[in-house]
Amino acid sequence: MKNRVITISREFGSGGRTIGKQAAEKLNIPCYDKELIQTIAAESGFHADYIEEAGEYAPGGFLSSALSHRGLAPTNEDRIWEIQCRVIAHLAEQGPCVIVGRCADYILRDKADCLRVFIHAGLEFRARRIVEVYGQREQSPIQRLKDKDKRRAAYHRFYTDMKWGHAQNYDLTLNSGTLGIDKCVQIITQLYKR
């Protein structure tokens, strides 16, 4: 029998990481987020900072993308993707868990009994949150949100050929700005237990 796994995809600043961690705590199951980066770094030999950045960028340039998809010249990002797929599948095989980001919803589509969740919120809510929670100030918070979301969408599209954030690709989409973090956690944990 396939293990029950919650995957959390999220817009930057929406609280998806917090929601995933709190849901895992309530369900008494592990939550994998930054731990994924450390494991992928250890297996790949790349620095964790590089892994984190590579997870938000589609491989560079048209030529590099075209060649790697033809099997002629795999990029570092392609190698990281392969390791990421293996690590995420292994974690799902170990037992029930929450996995935040890293295209886990796609990677586990046939490997686990997934509750695929997408967390989103309005720009103002997210801008306020990244300033309050992360101390984000080096550029306009709104522009930072748009840049991060654009990179996440491109990465997701490149490796999954699916549109990131589109409701039909998830079992559940929640607006954390409207519902609040606690209510999102409550909804996810209730659905998981069914």
**Using CA atoms, how far apart are residues 39 and 33, in angstroms rounded to an integer?**
10
pLDDT for residue 39 is more than 80: yes
* pLDDT, tens digit (0-9, with 9 covering 90-100), for 177-187: 999 999 999 99
Residue ranges of domains in the chain, CATH in brackets: 4-193 (3.40.50.300)
* pLDDT, tens digit (0-9, with 9 covering 90-100), for 70-124: 456 678 888 999 999 999 999 999 999 999 999 999 999 988 899 999 999 999 9
pLDDT for residue 143 is more than 60: yes
Mean pLDDT (whole number) for 153-169: 91
